[in-house]
Amino acid sequence: MVIEEIEETTVGDLDGHRVPMGNVTTGAYTLPDGTERTGNICSLVLPGQSPGVFVGKGSVVTVGEHRWEVLTVDNPTTGNGSVQLKRLD
Amino acid sequence: MEHAHRTAKSSKKGSKGNGGGAAASEPALGNQEMAELLLQEAARVEGASDDQLWLPTHKDELWFAEDGDDDGGTGTTRRQQEAKLPGLRPKHEGKEYEDFENGTAFVKGEGDAHAVDANDVKQGALGDCYLIAGMAAVARADPKLIEDLIKDNGDGTFDVTLYIRPRRYARPEPVVTTVDARLAVKYSGKPLYAGLGDKEDGKEELWTALIEKTLAQQKDSYDLISGGNINKNGFNYGGSSELLTGKRENYMPTDSMDSDEALLWIDLALEEGRSVTVSSRNLKDDEDLTREANGRNVYWNHAYAPISVDLDAETMDLQNPWGSSHVEDLSGDDFLRFYRAIRIGGGRL
């Protein structure tokens, strides 16, 4: 199982693709099945797409040949937030 | 005939390790001592057939590597820095350092006017946007200022100069640190922190990673140069421009400016060849504003390097130190909404 973490306003690496993470905030987002959720969200700048898309726990994004599921979006009261993603296939 | 050809050569290439640091330090033998040892060895194995072994019978048969010619005849001895490698961020424990043997300080990319170009910078998995944006700003102001910071020793090491204050209220002084081309890498083999710049003929440009590593070397850790930590452990940080140019920088809060003033200050600084960076606010608790700002490639709590100002249109373009997601056509009013400070430092002047 491949899990990657990206920190707020830094650039992560998903299978060799540079993926910057924008900011964490709280708000609404949509799961792959269309369900609306509210919680911690963050923007991820996916390859070839700018500006970023906002994702939350359970969101799925495609980077290169793989899909990644958002496991957590951490929004600490002080310091930088972060996002954890798990490769699905 | 196959010979066991022994010489004084040794290879230190291709090393990996996490913080091992010091260069291999075998006791150095003089040529005469080495010749005697080899002649003794030749005597010891006397009786072995010539097919099995070749050893010199006279010191004149020996070929010795001269200093700077110790790498298979390529003319270089690859060395490592003597100082221990800086520690990685706690969350990156387990990642390794890898020697970028094809790395060189500067590579002129296609379309670049100079080998050092503001577009060389790429922030990695470290919150040091202030430093990376500062490198872009100084490179834009005067590429030679960056070139003068790094001396390639031709042996895999580089002497890198940073201007550091010995005390909180002191003028910055040049401090030279020798670093090598070993960089922490991700699983993909790419640098974990500051990325590589241009590539040409197999050569990879290292200058941003070398400067970042040098600062981390000063603090023994990459973690201690991330934004919130730079002033910790007694380090007297006076701004990224000061660190790179030795000239103090002006910190100008935007709260006391109107949009025309902000545009004019940045335009004037760029025109005069000074380094300019700007810092965004921290408004991430405001969802609507965060969505709006991130939608314009403005990210909170982040540093940028202004590229240009259009005084007629009253807009500006800002370089994101990520190396992508730059801000285009930002109005002066939005600049004041999103950004809290302008830092103007040294440059050509």
- Write down which residue in B220, B245, B270 finishes a domain: B245
pLDDT tens for B95-130 read 999 999 999 999 999 999 999 999 999 999 999 999
Measuring CA to CA, how many Å separate A18 from each of A8, A44, B97?
14, 11, 19
Q: Using a CB-CB distance cutoff of 8 angstroms, which residues of chain B are in contact with residue A85?
A: none
Residues B96 and B63 in one domain: no
Structural domain contains residue B184: yes
The per-residue pLDDT for B231 is 87
B21 and chain A: CB distance < 8 Å anywhere? Answer: no
Query: Does the pLDDT value for residue B149 go beyond 80?
Result: yes
* A52 neighbourhood in chain B, CB within 8 Å: 294, 325
Distance from CA of B130 to the nearest CA of A (A): 11
End-to-end distance of chain B based on CA atoms, in angstroms?
67
Residues B291, B146, single domain; the answer is no
Region B183-197: what's the mean pLDDT? 95
Q: What is the CATH number of the domain that holds B255?
A: 3.90.70.10
pLDDT at B31 over 80: no
Nearest CA-CA distance, residue B34 and chain A, Å? 47
Asked if B34 and B62 count as a contact pair (C-beta separation under 8 A), the reply is yes
Whether B82 maps to a domain, the answer reads no
Q: Is the peptide bond before A51 cis (omega within 30 degrees of 0)?
A: yes
pLDDT for residue A78: 87
Q: Which residues does chain A have with pLDDT short of 70? A: none
Structural domains of chain B, count: 3
Helix (H) / strand (E) element for B305: namely strand B303-310
Please tell me whether residues B234 and B256 are part of one structural domain.
no
- Residue B83, in any domain of the structure: no
Report pLDDT digits (tens) over B13-25. 334 444 433 333 4
d(CA B340, CA B105): 34
* Whether B70 and B101 share a structural domain: no
Q: Are both B97 and B211 inside the same structural domain? A: yes
Q: Does some domain include residue B177?
A: yes
Q: Which amino acid is at B277?
A: T
B30: confidence class by pLDDT, cuts 50, 70, 90: low
Domain final position from B245, B279, B307: B245
Residue B342 lies in a domain: yes
Q: Are residues B236 and B108 in the same domain?
A: yes
Residue B63 reports pLDDT greater than 50: no
B241 located within any domain: yes
Burial of B1 per CB tally in 10 Å (0-12, 13-18, 19+): exposed
Question: For chain B, where are the alpha helices, taking DSSP H only?
Answer: 31-44, 129-141, 143-147, 207-219, 240-245, 259-271, 287-295, 332-338
Which of B2-11, B162-171, B182-191 comes out lowest in average pLDDT? B2-11
The reply to whether B336 and B231 lie within a common domain is no
Distance CA B177, CA B228 (A): 23
E runs forming strands in chain A: 3-7, 11-14, 17-30, 36-44, 53-56, 60-63, 66-74, 82-87
Q: Comparing B235 with B16, which gets the higher pLDDT? A: B235
Q: Is residue B114 located within the same domain as residue B169? A: yes
Q: Which of B188, B196, B289 to mutate to test the interface with A (most CBs of A within 10 A)?
A: B188
Q: What ipTM was assigned to the predicted interfaces of this complex?
A: 0.96
pLDDT at B308: 98
pTM above 0.80, yes or no: yes
Indicate if the pLDDT at residue B3 is higher than 50: no
Rounded CA-CA distance B52/B42 in Å is 12
**A53/chain B closest Cα distance in angstroms:** 9
Q: Which two tokens stand for residue B100?
A: 């970028």
More confident residue, B31 or B285: B285
Lowest pLDDT segment from B32-46, B66-80, B150-164: B32-46
The stretch B235-258 carries a mean pLDDT of: 95
Using the 3D structure, point to which of B227, B245, B263 is the last residue of a domain: B245
Strand order in the sheet with A82-87: A3-7, A82-87, A66-74, A60-63
Q: Distance of alpha carbon A30 from its chain centroid, rounded? A: 13
Per-residue confidence (pLDDT) for residue B348, from 0 to 100? 66
Claim to verify: residue B229 and residue B317 sit in the same structural domain = no
- Which residues of A touch chain B, with CB atoms under 8 Å apart? 5-13, 15-16, 18, 20, 22-27, 43, 45, 50-52, 54, 79-81
In a domain? residue B35: yes
Domain hosting residue B159, numbered range: 90-245
Q: Is B296 on the interface with A (CB under 8 A)?
A: yes
Question: B67: exposed, middle or buried (C-beta count within 10 Å: 0-12, 13-18, 19+)?
Answer: exposed
How confident is residue B211, by pLDDT bands cut at 50, 70 and 90? very high
Q: Is residue B81 one of the residues assigned to a domain?
A: no
| Cβ contact B125–A6 (<8 Å) | yes
The pLDDT value recorded for residue B21 is 37
The count of C-alpha atoms lying within 13 angstroms of the C-alpha of A58, restricted to the half-sphere facing its C-beta, is 13
Q: Clarify whether residues B221 and B318 are in a common domain.
A: no
Q: Tell me which chain A residue has its CA closest to the CA of residue B297.
A: A51
How confident is the model over B231-239, as a mean pLDDT? 90
State whether A52 and B325 contact (CB < 8 Å). yes
Q: B151 to chain A, minimum CA–CA distance in Å? A: 28
> Which pLDDT score, from 0 to 100, does residue B68 have?
42
Q: Are B268 and B260 in contact (CB under 8 A)?
A: no
What value does the mean pLDDT of chain B take? 85
Same domain, B304 and B275: yes
In a shared domain, residues B68 and B98: no
